[in-house]
Amino acid sequence: MVEESRLDIQCCAFEGRAMRVRDSVREAGSGTLSSKRGPKMIEIRLQGRGGQGVVVASEILARACFEEGMYPQCYSLFGGERRGAPVAAFVRISDSKIYLKCDIDHPNHLVLFDKTLFDEKEILERVVPGGFLLFNMDEYQSDALENYTVGTIDALEISKKNALGAMVNTAILGAYIRLTQIVSLDRLLKVITETVPGAIDQNVVAAREAYERVSII
């Protein structure tokens, strides 16, 4: 059984936006981020729009990493309580306890839930070279991001096929863990089963299908 020393959710005002912080750490022992998974701390930005499940995706990812022995921390920023409003969620993953509470300005990984948010120039300016990029789009053809590992997945098509509508979070997560190998598929599916409030079977199928279909450049 995994023991928790802290699972903290805080709400505060931040430049007119609501900010929620969730920080999960292990009480004892340490998880290991192997050399294949990058540095000892990985910072991830998930960006999308209200109604796509961005915040829940960050919490599922953090929980999956937690259950594999790592120290995760996640928080979110959103522009308004309405469908379609910009939403950003952030996850830190480390092999030791995380004390940072600052924003993630230059993530190692970027996950875009909505192709309308794609901005090549911004990606080059903000994402650490050598990192991972996942885009919710059919395909990506450009040499501009050659210093990154890029994945593409039509998560919306998969979600609609599984009666999930615009809620693309579990499909996105399936593609993301195939791209990064940060946790196992079995672990992700377990956490999805324990976390999503409904349509469990459909979410599991969507995650598995995206895992199998993601294109990696």
Per-residue pLDDT of the chain in tens (217 residues, 90 and over written 9):
344 443 333 332 222 223 333 333 333 223 335 444 444 899 999 999 999 999 999 999 999 999 999 999 999 886 655 677 889 999 999 999 998 888 899 999 999 999 999 999 999 999 999 999 999 999 888 899 999 999 999 999 999 999 999 999 999 999 999 999 999 999 999 999 999 989 999 999 999 999 999 999 8
Q: What pLDDT, on a 0 to 100 scale, did the predictor assign at position 38?
A: 40
Residue 80 carries which DSSP code? -
In contact, 95 and 74? CB cutoff 8 Å: no
pLDDT value of position 81 = 55
Give dist(CA 161, CA 193) in Å, integer.
Answer: 19
Question: Which structural domains are found in the chain, ordered by start?
Answer: 4-155 (3.40.920.10)
For residues 52 and 108, give the distance between their C-alpha atoms in angstroms, rounded to a whole number. 22
Which 3 state secondary structure label does DSSP give 100? coil
**pLDDT score for 33:** 58
Q: What is the DSSP string of 17-48?
A: EEEEEEEEEESSS-----GGG-SSEEEEEEEE
| Total-model pTM | 0.82
The 10 Å Cβ neighbour count of residue 204 is: 19
Bin 171: left if φ > 0, else alpha if -120 < ψ < 50, else beta: alpha
